[in-house]
C-alpha cells in the first residue's frame, strides 16, 4: 500500500481528497459545537435570575393576640334601666328630655299620673297591665303603659323613684296637691290585683307624701 501510494499518482490524489474531506468534517463539527455551547451560555447569561418575594408572611394568630385584638362585645343594659337625666331639676315638671309632653299635659290637667313599666313577654306583666288599664275608667287618672325598652323616654320619672326592675307601677300625685315645684310619687313592684292598683291611686290622693320625687 505504501509503495502504491509512493509510485501511483492516482492513488495519491484519491488519498488527498479523502484526507481533505475528513479535515473539513472535523472543522465543521468543532465550529458547530462551539456555537451551540456559546448560545447556551448566552441564554444563561441573559435569563433573569429569580428574585425573592418582598412580601413578609403574616404569622398565624395565637390565642393571646386574638384576644388582644378582638374588641369585647358590648353588654346591653338590663330592661328597665333608666338613662341618666339631662334636664336640671330647677326647671320643674316641664316637658323635655326624659319627660314626654303628654305626661306633662296629663299632670297639668290635675289628674293622677299612673305609669306602668312592663315587659310584655312576662306573664305577670301582662296581667298587671290589664288591671292598670281598668283605671282608664276614672276621669281623675291618666294611664301610661311603657315598655321596658322605652323607659329612657321617661327617665326623669324613673330616676325620681329609683326604678330598677319591672313590672313597676309609678303613681304621681296631682298638681293641685303639690306644695313646691315638684310632685311626689309612689312605686310598687310585681303583680298586684285590681283593688291594690285602685288603692295606690287613693293613697296618692290622700296625702301625696309617700315618696319624694325629684326629676332631672
Question: Is residue 71 predicted with pLDDT exceeding 50?
Answer: no
Chain mean pLDDT for the chain: 73
Beta bridge mates, 169? 116, 188
Tell me, what's the pLDDT at 120? 87
Could you give the CA distance from residue 112 to residue 170 in angstroms, rounded to a whole number?
10
Give domain limits for the chain.
Answer: 1-31, 89-206
Tell me the average pLDDT across 174-201. Answer: 93
Which CATH superfamily is 89-206 part of?
Glutaredoxin (3.40.30.10)
Q: pLDDT of 10-48, one tens digit each?
A: 656 667 667 667 666 666 666 565 555 455 444 444 444
Label residue 78 by pLDDT band (50, 70, 90).
very low
Cell numbers describing residue 202? 287613693
- CA 56 from chain center: how many Å? 31
Cell numbers describing residue 132? 292598670
Question: Is residue 102 predicted with pLDDT exceeding 70?
Answer: yes
Could you give the CA distance from residue 209 to residue 11 in angstroms, rounded to a whole number?
151
Which position has the higher pLDDT, 123 or 17? 123
Could you give the CA distance from residue 159 to residue 185 in angstroms, rounded to a whole number?
11
Tell me the average pLDDT across 74-102. Answer: 56
Could you give the CA distance from residue 194 to residue 198 in angstroms, rounded to a whole number?
6
Cell numbers describing residue 162? 329609683
Q: At what angle do helices 194-206 and 123-133 cross, to 10 degrees?
A: 60
Tell me, what's the pLDDT at 23? 62
Lowest average pLDDT, out of 8-12, 15-19, 127-131, 146-150, goes to 8-12
Cell numbers describing residue 172? 304621681
Q: Which long-range contacts (CB under 8 A, 24 or more apart) does 83-87 make?
A: 83/152, 83/155, 84/155, 84/159, 85/155, 85/156, 85/159, 85/215, 85/216, 87/156, 87/215, 87/216
Amino acid at each position: 500500500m505504501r509503495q502504491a501510494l509512493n509510485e501511483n499518482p492516482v492513488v495519491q490524489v484519491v488519498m488527498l481528497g479523502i484526507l481533505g474531506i475528513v479535515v473539513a468534517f472535523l472543522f465543521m463539527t468543532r465550529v458547530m459545537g462551539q456555537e451551540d455551547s456559546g448560545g447556551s451560555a448566552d441564554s444563561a447569561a441573559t435569563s433573569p435570575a429569580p428574585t425573592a418575594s418582598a412580601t413578609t408572611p403574616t404569622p398565624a394568630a395565637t390565642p393571646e393576640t386574638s384576644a388582644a385584638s378582638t374588641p369585647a362585645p358590648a353588654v346591653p343594659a338590663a330592661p328597665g334601666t333608666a338613662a341618666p337625666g339631662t334636664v336640671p331639676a330647677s326647671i320643674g315638671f316641664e316637658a323635655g328630655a326624659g319627660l314626654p309632653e303628654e305626661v306633662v299635659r296629663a299632670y297639668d290637667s290635675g289628674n293622677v299620673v299612673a305609669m306602668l313599666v312592663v315587659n310584655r313577654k312576662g306573664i305577670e306583666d301582662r296581667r298587671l297591665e290589664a288591671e292598670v288599664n281598668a283605671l282608664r275608667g276614672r276621669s281623675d287618672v291618666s294611664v301610661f303603659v311603657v315598655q321596658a325598652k322605652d323607659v329612657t323616654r321617661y327617665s326623669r320619672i324613673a330616676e325620681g323613684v329609683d326604678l330598677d326592675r319591672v313590672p313597676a307601677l309609678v303613681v304621681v300625685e296631682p298638681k293641685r296637691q303639690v306644695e313646691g315645684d315638684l310632685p311626689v310619687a309612689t312605686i310598687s313592684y310585681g303583680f298586684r290585683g285590681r283593688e291594690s292598683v285602685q288603692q295606690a291611686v287613693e293613697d296618692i290622693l290622700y296625702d301625696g307624701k309617700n315618696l319624694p320625687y325629684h326629676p332631672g
